């Protein structure tokens, strides 16, 4: 594994605004920590937000929301994600978060 901030640096030359899409099977918080050095250049983040535990050690929706607030992101849109075929329960939402300065009411 390598940190995103190390991998992305060369690809972000001359770019002011970046969308980070995270699909990391329960490791979303670790991906965010690996991007700490470039968060100031990320305008929006798309991430799976689990409502129920699907992977060992993963953060659930409310914990991930707080994790995203810390570097300055606010929910912009939430879309239905994974739904259990057996029960019909929504297990995940797809969240689209933007810098608080871009959110409604800012």
The string of DSSP codes covering 56-73 is TT---HHHHHHHHHTTTE
What is the number of domains present in the chain?
Answer: 1
Residue of 54, 5, 52 whose CA lies nearest to 30: 5
Domain range for residue 55?
4-102
pLDDT tens digits, 36-91:
888 888 999 999 999 999 999 999 999 999 999 988 999 999 998 888 889 988 99
C-alpha span between 3 and 104 (Å, rounded): 31
Angle CA(61)–CA(68)–CA(30) in degrees, nearest 5?
85
Checking if the pLDDT of 18 tops 80, the result is yes
Cα separations in angstroms, 30 against 22, 44, 86: 10, 17, 30
Q: pTM to 2 decimals?
A: 0.84
């Amino acid at each position: 594994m390598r940190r995103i901030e190390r991998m992305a640096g060369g690809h972000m030359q001359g770019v002011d605004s970046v969308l980070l899409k995270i699909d990391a099977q329960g490791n979303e918080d670790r991906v965010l920590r690996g991007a700490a050095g470039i968060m100031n250049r990320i305008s929006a983040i798309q991430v799976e937000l689990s409502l129920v535990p699907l992977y060992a050690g993963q953060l659930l929706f409310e914990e991930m929301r707080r994790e995203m607030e810390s570097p300055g992101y606010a929910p912009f849109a939430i879309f239905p994600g994974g739904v259990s075929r057996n029960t019909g329960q929504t297990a995940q939402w797809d969240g689209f978060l933007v810098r608080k300065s871009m959110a409604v009411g800012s």
